[in-house]
Amino acid sequence: MAKSVLEKIWEDHTLAKRGDEYLLYVDRHLTHEVTSPIAFEGLRARGRRVRRPDLTFALMDHNVPTSDRTLPVRDENSREQMRTLAKNAREFSITVFDYFSPWQGIVHVVGPELGLTVPGITIVCGDSHTSTHGALGALAFGIGTSEGEHVFATQTVWMRRPKQMEVRMEGRFKSHTSAKDAILYVIRELGTGGMIGHAAEFRGEAVKNMSVEERMTICNMAIEGGARTAIVEPDDKVYSYLEGAPYAPSGEDWTEARKYWETLKTDDGARFDKSYKLDVSRLEPQITWGTNPAMCIGVSETVPEPRQFGDSSQRRIVERALEYMGLSPGQRIEGTPIDVVFIGSCTNARLSDLVMVARLVKGRRVAQGVRAMIVPGSMLVKRRAERMGLHRVFIEAGFEWRNSGCSMCIAMNEDRLGPGERGVLTSNRNFENRAGPGSRVHLASPLTAAASALEGKIADPRRYSLAGLDELGLEWVSPWIERNILKPLGGG
């Protein structure tokens, strides 16, 4: 029978079935400082151990400061949560990438770049955007704290089998548009509940042509459409991304793994419960205007007018969002003055995102009065960017060049918007107060965010030429960077 890649991995990991729940073995459990303490507490209270410390990895990302790491951590609660994780990791013999580790970073950036994430495995993490890892052909689920405790103790998770949805992306991206614009558009069309109960499999020519990092962007944000997880079948690009990574298989194991990974394709005729198709060639840069990611328009469009909506509850929702965001019905979104630009988060702060930003801002200046910050997705991303010399492009343009963490995406550290402040962020959630109480967040691609930083207003990136890779004066380019970052961008 024809099977999808999800079905193949699911079956490979099913230990038992109970009603409509499946007991799945968990190959990789990633955990961070915020959702783990109570799970560890539960283990301790009942004298339980972590069953497989060798499959469990902890790191600090959600509330770490992104300032100079030689300075003390001022927020007492953050410090306490970090210390608690370090202590728990020691007590339960788990590897931890702590605040000072050269491999510290956002969990969904770190997993793939260290080769903890590989095709064909199951991954869970106490974080909703765990779907990101699906971009490498893994089956990845965000779980709650109680479930996390269950995984610690049993290395398994009870899971209802999601329905399957095919999201086909065809065509070629026009210049200045990217994966972020595509996924924002999909959510705009389907709504925040459009994929509830489903696992999204992204397929089609445009997905094939995407780099692994772009695939991570779409898998990451599928969650905002309500999806339970997301996946892309693995291919040569994924293998290239992983080859040589510190925790990836090597030697004979690598050959073995490759053989197995080749079998993880969605067969012709595999059945999907739902499908959606998008031609990416007709996309313009997208940006959100409201308080959920589906409230989104093209950058040249105008924000909706409540009276367009027949349904009174819809109308109220739109009115409320416009009021919160401080926008008037029917106004053009482009040109709206902003205070902050944030390039960061597990959606768009990987090396290829930073290269794109550098191509746009090279030789240009951030507008007066705008705070523009770049928070690399991991310290490894940061080091790689610095070896290439990208940080000089950013600093010369007037960006802050910070250390890694979730930062303004969730505002658990000091990086936040003040009440009423407006920012263009490359992250994935624009909920009320998400980036700080009263914050007004517009989600967009790195290029749209970069162009907005230059103008001090929401801007259309298409008005800016992009410097060629050769014009960036790249200094130190490793074979990995050449293969996985520059080549997909048309260089190297």
Partner 1 sequence: MPEPVRRIVGKAAPLEMDDVDTDQIIPAQFLKVLSRKGLGKYLFYRWRFDEDGRPKQGFILDQEEYRDAVILVAGRNFGIGSSRENAVWALMDFGIKCVIASSFGDIFYGNSVKNGLLCIKLDEESVKRLRGMAAKGELTLDIDVESETIKLPGGETMSFRLEPNVKKRLLEGLDEIEETLRGYEAKIREYEAKMRPFKIPSKAVMPIE
Where do contacts with ligand SF4 occur on this chain (CB under 6 A)?
Answer: 61-62, 106, 108, 127, 129, 345-346, 406, 409-410, 427-428
Binding mask 92-131 for partner 1 (x = CB under 8 A): ----------------------xxx-x-xx----xxx---
Residue 438: which of ligand SF4, partner 1, none does it interact with, CB under 5 to 8 A by kind?
partner 1
Q: How far is the CB of 177 from partner 1 (least distance, A)?
A: 26
Q: Which amino acid is at 286?
A: Q
Residue 331 phi, psi (nearest 5) = -75, 155
Q: Per CB under 8 A, does 209 bind partner 1?
A: no
Closest approach, Cβ 233 to partner 1, in A, equals 18
Which two structure tokens, joined as six digits, stand for 339? Answer: 């205070």
Q: Which token pair is 88?
A: 């728990």
Q: Which of residues 349-368 bind partner 1 (CB under 8 A)?
A: none
Interaction between residue 326 and partner 1 (CB under 8 A): no
CB contact burial 284-322 (16+ within 10 A = b; e otherwise): bbbbbbbbbbbbbbbbeebbbebeeeeeeeebebbeebb
Task: Single out the residue of 465, 179, 447, 441 nearest to residue 336, CA to CA.
Answer: 441
CB of 282 to ligand SF4, least distance (A): 28
477 lines the binding site for partner 1 (CB under 8 A): no
| Pairwise CA distance, residues 60 & 83, whole Å | 10
Residue 80 binds partner 1, judged by CB under 8 A: yes
- Minimum Å gap between C-beta 429 and ligand SF4 is 7
Of the candidates 466, 280, 238, 429, the residue with the CA atom closest to the CA atom of residue 344: 429
CA-based max dimension of the chain: 64
Strand partners, 16: 23
Task: Give the shortest CB-61-to-ligand SF4 separation in angstroms.
Answer: 6
The partner in contact with residue 156, picked from partner 1, ligand SF4, none with C-beta cut-offs of 5 to 8 angstroms by kind, is partner 1
Placement of tokens 């950013």 in the chain: 394
2 binds, among partner 1, ligand SF4, none (CB under 5 to 8 A by kind): none
Alpha-carbon distance 111 to 202, whole Å? 20
**What is d(CA 276, CA 183) in angstroms, rounded to the nearest whole number?**
12
Interaction between residue 276 and partner 1 (CB under 8 A): no
Which CB atom, from 206 or from 410, has the smaller least distance to ligand SF4?
Answer: 410
Region of 241-249, 354-362, 441-449, 456-464 interacting with partner 1 (CB under 8 A):
241-249
Q: Which stretch binds partner 1 (CB under 8 A): 181-189, 201-209, 442-450, 478-486?
A: 478-486
